[in-house]
Amino acid sequence: MNGADRLCDVLLTNDVEVCFANPGTSEMHFVAALDRKPQMRCVLGLFEGVVTAAADGYARMAEKPAATLLHLGPGLANGLANLHNAKRARTPMINIVGDHASYHLQHDAPLTSDIESLARPMSHWVGRVEGPEDVGRATAEAYKAAMSLPGIATLILPADAAWGEVASSAVEQTKVPTPTTAPEEALGAAVAAIRSGGRTALLLTGRALRADALEIAGRIADATGVRLLAQMSNGRIERGIGRVPVTKVPYPVDEAVAALRDIDNLILIGAKVPVAFFAYPGKPGRLIRDDCEVIEFARPGDDLRNELARLAEELGVRPDAPAPVVQYGTGLDYPRSGQLTADAITLAVAALMPEKAIICDEAVTSGRRFFNLSQRSAPHDYIQLTGGAIGIGIPLAIGAAVACPDRKVIGLQADGSGMYTVQGLWTQARENLDIVTIIFANRSYAILQGEMRNVGVNNFGHNARRMLNIDDPALDWVSMANGMGVEAGRAETIEDFLNLFRGALARRGPFLIEAVI
Ligand SMILES: Cc1ncc(C[n+]2csc(CCOP(=O)(O)OP(=O)(O)O)c2C)c(N)n1
């Protein structure tokens, strides 16, 4: 066997069984090794930004990493924006980046580059395989890093390490360190803050936003009066009927400041102190009051559910108390006819989504109200753009659908952002993934138009219009989808939209709705 075979064995032994890929010549031995492993599902993305976002969506839903296969520095570089998003989501991922054979680097052949320097800013861990016999160790280290930090591990695999012979031997499952635990002092500080009489909030993210962890947080809130808040962007939230509701820190600075103004003590559960997405003249960067006390209780590598349970126990909260979950009520209402608007679509999706749907939100301005309007929807998962680098939505849905083939994935997709990784539609078709993509076709970069107005420019001149409108020519999403094998329809009224959406929910496989708003 060769190094590439060993690499596959280490991945498979650790239950890493999906590889999102876009290979090149330097990875051919790895491709050949994957070909000898039918247990590994290899999913081709036609651009590396599709590959990395799909691996992100997969891990958020499967709760285990996928591997990616990327072609040297340029292939990795194409995937970096979505690696950035995955890093912000703290998604476990193992990137295998091929490189030239070690002895070929001296020639500075055209595809040679400093892969480590490209990888480092968007990875939590970077390693290089030192030779065929080092593949097993290095892959296990990458897996361990992805699982325990948790986060992005990027492993560089020189071609001669992949093709070199290794002694055949059994591969053992890699031991992952047990999650870290918050120190007793931090626990004590959190308890003291909650008992201080001041207004206290728990700021949650990561694993703390799954249903079981939210139930514990909900019981703490009921028993002590603390508020529950989620970070502005999160990898995944389990929500809807039967789940403990949580509000997110709003995106607009003024709204966020108002929402956080009355908090005296902020207890971080895997989260970061809320800050504005961007700096604006005269507005604060930190969104909490200057005198708000911050208690960093649990950190990303901790078992956040367990940390909430420790906190509940220390506070004497009864573990069998009913959690304050959203109750079944009358169905949500939505408009049945008239002009199609972003809100009409949002309301229809919130009302009609099936149980266990996975909502992939990259709707940008069109989706601003979705989160609040879907609090009482059927139980669902909500996954979103985490790092602000647009172009994640279409492939994030791919990953979620590969991880959860029995669940409907609904992509809420802004048109400008959708164009960054539009070729992900081809992978949706090729893998016959059960995804409805709703394109909010406002034919503009609406958020940036708003930002221009925020800086006082109300009359856009020629150049600004050329940079902030995408209406000329109008994008024909139905043709683009059809051209990549995805059935599609265009909606110009609410009636059109409801017909197409109901039809898409009733069938399996990918479908795209261009909603002209
Ligand atoms: C990788 C990347 N490039 C550029 C931007 C800057 N940017 C932010 S929003 C946006 C346009 C968004 O337009 P669209 O997706 O259509 O959503 P809308 O604002 O119309 O709701 C751009 C270009 C970004 N955030 N990330």
State the closest ligand 1 atom to the C-alpha of 366, by its place in the atom list counted from 1: 21
Question: Hey, whose CA ends up nearest to atom 13 of ligand 1?
Answer: 445
Residue 512 has what pLDDT? Answer: 99
User: Cis omega (within 30 of 0) on the bond before 281?
Assistant: no
Residue 97 has what pLDDT? Answer: 98
For residue 48, the CA-to-ligand 1 centroid distance in Å is 19
Residue 393 has what pLDDT? Answer: 98
Tell me the per-residue pLDDT of 190-224, one tens digit each, with 9 for 90 and over: 999 999 999 999 999 999 999 999 999 999 999 99
Q: Report the alpha-carbon distance of residue 21 to residue 159 in Å, rounded.
A: 16
Helix (H) or strand (E) holding 82: helix 80-89
Question: Hey, whose CA ends up nearest to atom 14 of ligand 1?
Answer: 416
Question: Hey, whose CA ends up nearest to atom 26 of ligand 1?
Answer: 389
For residue 469, the CA-to-ligand 1 centroid distance in Å is 11
Helix (H) or strand (E) holding 401: helix 393-403
For residue 416, the CA-to-ligand 1 centroid distance in Å is 6
For residue 346, the CA-to-ligand 1 centroid distance in Å is 19
Contact assessment for residue 59 and residue 66, using Cβ atoms and an 8 Å cutoff = yes
For residue 455, the CA-to-ligand 1 centroid distance in Å is 17
Task: State which of 341, 369, 447, 451 you would mutate to test the pocket of ligand 1, scoring each by most atoms of that ligand within 8 A of its C-beta.
Answer: 447
* Strand segments (E) across 66-223: 67-70, 93-99, 125-128, 152-158, 200-204
State the closest ligand 1 atom to the C-alpha of 470, by its place in the atom list counted from 1: 16
For residue 6, the CA-to-ligand 1 centroid distance in Å is 41
State the closest ligand 1 atom to the C-alpha of 363, by its place in the atom list counted from 1: 21
Longest dimension (CA), the chain: 70
Q: What is the spatial order of strands in the sheet that 487-491 belongs to?
A: 237-239, 380-384, 357-362, 409-414, 435-441, 511-516, 487-491
State the closest ligand 1 atom to the C-alpha of 415, by its place in the atom list counted from 1: 16
Give the pLDDT of the chain (517 residues) as one tens digit per residue: 999 999 999 999 999 999 999 999 999 999 999 999 999 999 999 999 999 999 999 999 999 999 999 999 999 999 999 999 999 999 999 999 999 999 999 999 999 999 999 999 999 999 999 999 999 999 999 999 999 989 999 999 999 999 999 998 899 999 999 999 999 999 999 999 999 999 999 999 999 999 999 999 999 999 999 999 999 999 999 999 999 999 999 999 999 999 999 999 999 999 999 999 999 989 999 999 999 999 999 999 999 999 999 999 999 999 999 999 999 988 899 999 999 999 999 999 999 999 999 999 999 999 999 999 999 999 999 999 999 999 999 999 999 999 999 999 999 999 999 999 999 999 999 999 999 999 999 999 999 999 999 888 889 999 999 999 999 999 999 999 999 999 999 999 999 999 999 999 999 999 999 999 9
For residue 492, the CA-to-ligand 1 centroid distance in Å is 23
Residue 136 has what pLDDT? Answer: 97
Residue 70: name the closest of 109, 108, 123, 107 by CA.
Answer: 123
Task: State which of 445, 452, 467, 471 you would mutate to test the pocket of ligand 1, scoring each by most atoms of that ligand within 8 A of its C-beta.
Answer: 445
For residue 448, the CA-to-ligand 1 centroid distance in Å is 7
114 φψ region: left (φ > 0), alpha (ψ -120 to 50), beta (else)? beta
Which residues surround ligand 1 with Cβ inside 6 Å? Answer: 81, 364-366, 388-391, 414-417, 442, 444-448
The identity of residue 149, as a single letter, is L
Q: Report the alpha-carbon distance of residue 207 to residue 422 in Å, rounded.
A: 30
* Strand segments (E) across 376-504: 380-384, 409-414, 435-441, 487-491
State the closest ligand 1 atom to the C-alpha of 417, by its place in the atom list counted from 1: 15
Tell me the per-residue pLDDT of 385-427, one tens digit each, with 9 for 90 and over: 999 999 999 999 999 999 999 999 999 999 999 999 999 999 9
Measured at the CA of 388, the angle between CA 378 and CA 393, to 5 degrees, comes to: 50
